Amino acid sequence: MKELIDRVFLLNRATGRFEDADLYHGLDSTNLAHIEGRWRPLFELRRREAKASLQTLAEVNAEDAHWEWGKKALAALNDPFLFDFFVLECGGSTQAIMMTRKGGQDCFSRHPEHQRVPLIYVEFLATAPWNRPKLVAEPTYKGAGRALVGTAVSLSLEEEFGGRIGLHSLPGAEVFYRDAIGMTDLGADSEGVHKGLRYFELSSSDAATFLSVQH
Amino acid sequence: MKRTMTLNLSDAEMSVLETMCEEKGLSKTALVRQALRLYKSVDDRLARGEKVFVESADKSEKVELMVL
């Protein structure tokens, strides 16, 4: 079950033109079919190529290839009180998907600007493999990941969290969150389920800056 | 769809609620909503047989969190 909540624009890198993209709250079987039938084969192909050429999955931007979105969706649908799902569709395909948490563990700020205040925690965020530099030679759409980060910020504002969001990044995505989005790198967790992953946060003031920039 | 309820609190309870709202920068509704989410999140873990602990800053003391 999903509901259209907004229309955003993605840059088609091939044509140089912006295209309408539909942003949905929730997801349905069509999105999961896209991921299993369209995303996964491309991920698998690149994973095999990387292995053959002794490259890491981070080097080919495919560290999340093993994520099982069907299981994640089921968990979220069973607990809408804590979790939300968002998908971005454009050109007849699912271009990006995100699962967020709005309460409980991980939903408290570590940022020195406002420690322990609530935030939206981005559990998982992924863009379609054909949109990823390094994974394909000529990525299709630009802006899908940023659009979903913006959606998490909007959810944070709606929940009165001041636009604050937090997440643990896979190593290959750290540059994106730090440099492209402007999140603060608060270092790697030394224990717990995210051990070894770096934690990033967008503070209230950074969120305001993020939203003020024309994308 | 959102539904409205009336919440009756003592002066002491209201004082704590208002202080926390001020500290966290949240409205009363948002703070109660977050408290409920945290409560449910912890309760779900306990219902699965997991335990929740609170550790002192110097890690010398660790106590199990019990909830209703």
| Tens of pLDDT, residues B1-12 | 889 999 999 999
Is B28's pLDDT higher than 70? yes
pLDDT at A31: 98
Cβ-based contacts of B52 with chain A (< 8 Å): none
Do the bridges between strand A120-127 and strand A93-101 make them parallel or antiparallel, or are there none, so unpaired?
A: antiparallel
Average pLDDT over residues A186-197: 95
Percent of chain A with pLDDT over 90: 91
**Is the Cβ of A117 closer than 8 Å to some Cβ of chain B?**
yes
Q: How far is A115 from chain B (nearest CA, A)?
A: 9
| Tens of pLDDT, residues A146-184 | 999 999 999 999 999 999 999 999 999 999 999 999 999
Is A214's pLDDT higher than 80? no
pLDDT at A188: 97
Calpha distance A131→B40 (Å, rounded): 37
A138's tokens: 């000529």
pLDDT at A98: 98
Is A17's pLDDT higher than 80? yes
Quote ipTM for the complex: 0.80
| Tens of pLDDT, residues A91-141 | 999 999 999 999 988 999 999 999 999 999 999 999 999 999 989 999 999
pLDDT at A215: 56
**Is the Cβ of B19 closer than 8 Å to some Cβ of chain A?**
no
- Contact: A103, B24; criterion CB under 8 Å: no
Q: How far is A117 from chain B (nearest CA, A)?
A: 5
| Tens of pLDDT, residues A39-80 | 999 999 999 999 999 999 988 999 999 999 999 999 898 889
pLDDT at A2: 94
Sort A43 into a burial class: Cβ within 10 Å, 0-12 / 13-18 / 19+.
Answer: buried
Sort A38 into a burial class: Cβ within 10 Å, 0-12 / 13-18 / 19+.
Answer: middle
A209 — alpha (psi -120 to 50), left (phi > 0) or beta? alpha
Domains of chain A: 2-212 (3.40.630.30)
Contact residues, A window 142-171, toward B, CB-based 8 Å cutoff: 159-162
